[in-house]
Amino acid sequence: MRTLIICSVWPEENASAAGVRTMQIARTCKNVTLASHAKNQKNLEFPTIEIGTDFQQKLIDFDLVIFDRFIMEEYYGWMVREALPEALQILDMQDVHFLRRARQETPSIDPKTIRSDTLLRELGSIYRVDGTLVISSYEYALLQDFGIPQNLLCHYPMYAEKMQSVPAFDARAGFSFLGNFRHAPNLDAALYLLSIWPRVLEKIPHATLHLFGAYPVKSISDKVRSAKGVKLHAHVPDAKESLASTLVQIVPLRFGAGIKGKILSSWMAGTPVVTSSIGAEGMHDGEHFGGSIVDDEAIFIEEALRLATHESAWKKAQNQGALLLETLFNRALLEEKLMQFIETRRMEEQNLIGSILRHDTCARTRYFSKWLALKKEFLA
């Protein structure tokens, strides 16, 4: 089975969870080519296609096409359907964009009340493809609340494997935060963390906060320069190794969606996490969590201090994180689940609503995509 993954950007595993996820899917499908209209192509382990005006002519002999966000399906779905009418089309949502964007505007919004342009576009994309990969169990249920048939969806989180050996409690020091700072939820969480950090120093005056992450923007670097006990580390070669040197990762996410690669990396490193309910969404089984889930600011700080100073509580949290890696994020189980979903969707008939949306009279995305291509060519 030849597979094409159409990416919004070239995947960077050491820069974002999105990059990790795309590469995990690629390795599971194996015979893969990556395509993107992004510039600055990365050194990748798979063959690549740079999307240009001749892209449709390069769509030859692919049996499976995966779009890594709904926007990619809007741009290129019509093109794939014309060139490869027999190919199975799968959407990998990465996260639910309408949920993340709505929460950014109104953090307290009830997701079931969202009515936005992004919602309509994203749901339309789900119906046009043959199947959709949903990263979070919460979002898997939410999409069904919006009427998406369960058989069109596959709950498929990222997989994770614990490091062979991790430092003990006494061999670690300080706190950490990991995230790509170009991602709005990460930037907001890091700035908020820096604002509450002095309250941690009141209890542990010599504590250090390590900020690990790609693309540190000016607002972060400026804050770090004036902050006590904070170190900024950009583009760390191995996030897990960096997190394994610290006692606790503090993740005060105030909006966002999907599951959090930073939390998986932390558990892989044996590092407990203190996060918000949004940060923990889709990352626990209702009973276990590798750390603490807290939304109240004062209690949030208390939990970070408790885990960093009480070894027994720290070990219990570490063990629960390891348990979740084995039960919810197990590589072998998830790879099998993905391949079974692909085969099931290949055998089932296309959904009626999708057929309606793919009909020429409804294919606005086709002409929108052509307009964007002409605009890009004119500006070049």
For residues 342 and 294, membership in a common domain is answered with: no
pTM of the shown model:
0.89
Per-residue pLDDT of the chain (380 residues; tens, 9 = 90+): 899 999 999 998 887 889 999 999 999 998 999 999 988 776 788 999 999 888 989 999 999 999 999 999 999 999 999 999 999 999 999 999 999 999 999 999 999 999 999 999 999 999 999 999 999 999 999 999 999 999 999 999 999 988 789 999 999 999 999 999 999 999 999 999 999 999 999 999 999 999 999 889 899 999 999 999 999 998 788 889 999 999 999 999 999 999 999 999 999 999 999 999 999 999 998 899 999 999 999 999 999 999 999 999 999 999 999 999 999 999 999 999 999 999 999 988 777 888 888 776 556 667 777 776 777 666 66
For residues 181 and 51, membership in a common domain is answered with: no
For residues 54 and 146, membership in a common domain is answered with: yes
42 C-beta neighbours (distance < 10 Å), count: 15
- Residue 164 counted as domain residue: no
- Residue 287 counted as domain residue: yes
Residue at a domain's end among 304, 327, 350: 327
For residues 101 and 179, membership in a common domain is answered with: no
Query: Given this model, what pLDDT does residue 360 score?
Result: 62
Domain enclosing residue 282, as ranges = 169-327
Domain count, the chain: 2
Q: How far is CA 294 from CA 120, 236, 276, 307, in A?
A: 32, 28, 5, 13
CATH assignment of the domain containing 60: 3.40.50.2000
Burial level of 146, CB count in 10 A (0-12/13-18/19+)? middle
* Exposure string for 58-84, b = 16+ CB within 10 A, e = fewer: ebeebebbbbbbbbbbbbbbbbbbebb
Local structure of 350: helix, strand or coil? coil
